[in-house]
Each structure stands twice: as structure tokens, then as C-alpha cells.
Amino acid sequence: MSIDKTATQILNLAKKGFTIDLEEKIMKLRVEAIDLQKENLKLKEENIQLKQQLKRKEEFGFDGVVYWKKDDKKYPYCPNCYDVENKKVHLQNYHGGWKCKSCKEHFGDVSFDHYGTIRGI
Ligand SMILES: [Zn+2]
């Protein structure tokens, strides 16, 4: 039931004086208000997350291997750390490709496969 409908019932009951029904409706109104506060808080948090995701999409681009910040073309960012933990970790030059100092993954080089193991050795 909506808060508006409950408030109307409370108003009608209040006209009859303070009764058990009135007290129950006031309690119900409190519960409904708390539920709305919880829902509002959840929606605010979700809105913040969506704004952050949108900002990330505007700031970063994925080239199929690593992420690049639009105003920083010198060092890319780790896709593992970025996608999984939402951490922005610069990659370091490593054997012609890139290495993440956080998750230790290698990217974009020919000496290492996706899992970072050395090929042919
Ligand atoms: Zn990483």
C-alpha cells in the first residue's frame, strides 16, 4: 500500500479519535516510510555507480588488449584490474608489451601468452 493511501486512512481514523486502528495505521506508515528511505538510498547508490561507469567510459577506451586514458597516451591501464576490481593500474613496459605490477598479468607482447607463461620454453 502506498504512503499516500495510508496517510488518508490515518486522517479518516483521526477524525474518530485515537483508536487501535489509528495506532496500527501510524505504525504501518512508519514502516512504509522506512522502506521508501531504504529504496531511496539504494537508488542513490546505484545512481552514483552508474555515473562513475559513465565517466569511466568517457575517460577510457579499450583497444582490444588494454585500456587507454584519452588524455594519457604514454602508458595503458590493466584490463584485469580495471574490469574486475575497478582499479586503475598503469602497465609497465615489459618485453615489447605490458605488465601489470598489481595482478602480474602480461599484455600485448609476443613472448607471453594470455596467462603470462613463456611460450616455447
Ligand atoms: Zn592488473
110 has pLDDT over 90: no
What pLDDT digit, counting tens, does each position of 65-109 carry? Answer: 899 998 888 899 999 999 899 899 999 998 888 999 999 999 886
Alpha-carbon separation of residue 36 from 5, 48, 66 (angstroms): 14, 18, 42
For the beta carbon of residue 111, count every other beta carbon within 10 angstroms. Answer: 13
CA of 85 to the centre of ligand 1 (A): 9
CA of 58 to the centre of ligand 1 (A): 21
Fill in the amino acid letter for 26: I
**Interatomic CA distance for residues 39 and 23, integer angstroms:** 25
3-class SS at 121? coil
CA of 24 to the centre of ligand 1 (A): 56
Alpha-carbon separation of residue 56 from 53, 67, 86, 99, 104 (angstroms): 5, 11, 10, 22, 23
Alpha-carbon separation of residue 114 from 103, 118, 119 (angstroms): 13, 10, 10
Q: How confident is the model at residue 31 (pLDDT cuts 50, 70, 90)?
A: very high
Contacts of 33 (CB under 8 A, 6+ apart): 3
CA of 83 to the centre of ligand 1 (A): 9
CA of 114 to the centre of ligand 1 (A): 13
What pLDDT digit, counting tens, does each position of 42-52 carry? Answer: 999 999 999 98
**Interatomic CA distance for residues 104 and 92, integer angstroms:** 10
CA of 45 to the centre of ligand 1 (A): 26
6 has pLDDT over 90: no
CA of 110 to the centre of ligand 1 (A): 18
Q: Which three cell numbers stand for residue 63?
A: 583497444
Q: What is the pLDDT of residue 1?
A: 59
Residues less than 5 Å from ion ligand 1, measured at CB: 78, 80-81, 89, 100, 102-103
